Amino acid sequence: MTVPEALIAFSVAAGLLTLTPGLDTALVLRTAASEGPRPAAYAAVGICLGTLGWGAAVGFGLGALLAASTLAFEILKWAGAAYLVWLGVHLIARPRERFDVAAARGPQAHGVQWLWRGALNNLLNPKAGIFYVSFLPQFIPQGVAVAPFAILLASLHVLMGLAWFAVLIGATRPIAGALQKAAVVRWLDRATGGLFLAFGVRLALERR
């Protein structure tokens, strides 16, 4: 995979991932609906800082792993492939019927506290870490500096996230309403599941 191909493939995958509702989406939507756009914006920026943190951690960790042990990288590759395939099959076979915005409930916060809450919502979510560890390595072309390229990919994901969160905050009620429709949630889950399944198989077949 060349650098342009990696950037295009990651942009497509990360774009769909960004649109698929999860805990981060719930936090921003609920904050916008109950607290207003300013706290929601703080929470959104915090979430994106958490994403950037995971990207940096994976980038530097993966770079050290590649330098230290080919066997260790192979173990990580197969574990990541298995996780993505399992996640993809699960989303296709058992998509959600609805998206619960109330899942993001928590204590009230003000101002910059929302930024910290958004960051911790992401950084302390082990699923986010596991996903980034299994997902990001697929888009690192051979021969590039791993850590800087991983941070570049995470930065692209952050830009998409900021754009999407801006849309969420600006249109909280109609988007929240759409995400209560079973057909919409099922479609997003199955589309994302198909993407994860394809990338999991691709990761398993990749040779370095």
> Given pLDDT bands bounded at 50, 70 and 90, which one contains residue 188?
confident
Count: domains in the chain? 1
> Given pLDDT bands bounded at 50, 70 and 90, which one contains residue 115?
confident
Phi-psi region at 163: left, alpha or beta (left = phi > 0; alpha = psi -120 to 50): alpha
pLDDT at 208 over 60: no
Of 166 and 129, the one with more pLDDT: 166
Among 36, 49, 179, smallest CA distance to 102 is for: 179
Domain of 23 in residue numbering reads as 3-205
Phi-psi region at 206: left, alpha or beta (left = phi > 0; alpha = psi -120 to 50): beta
- Triad 131, 137, 139: Cα angle to 5°: 110
Among 156, 127, 151, smallest CA distance to 140 is for: 151
What count of other Cβ atoms lies within 10 Å of the Cβ of residue 178?
14
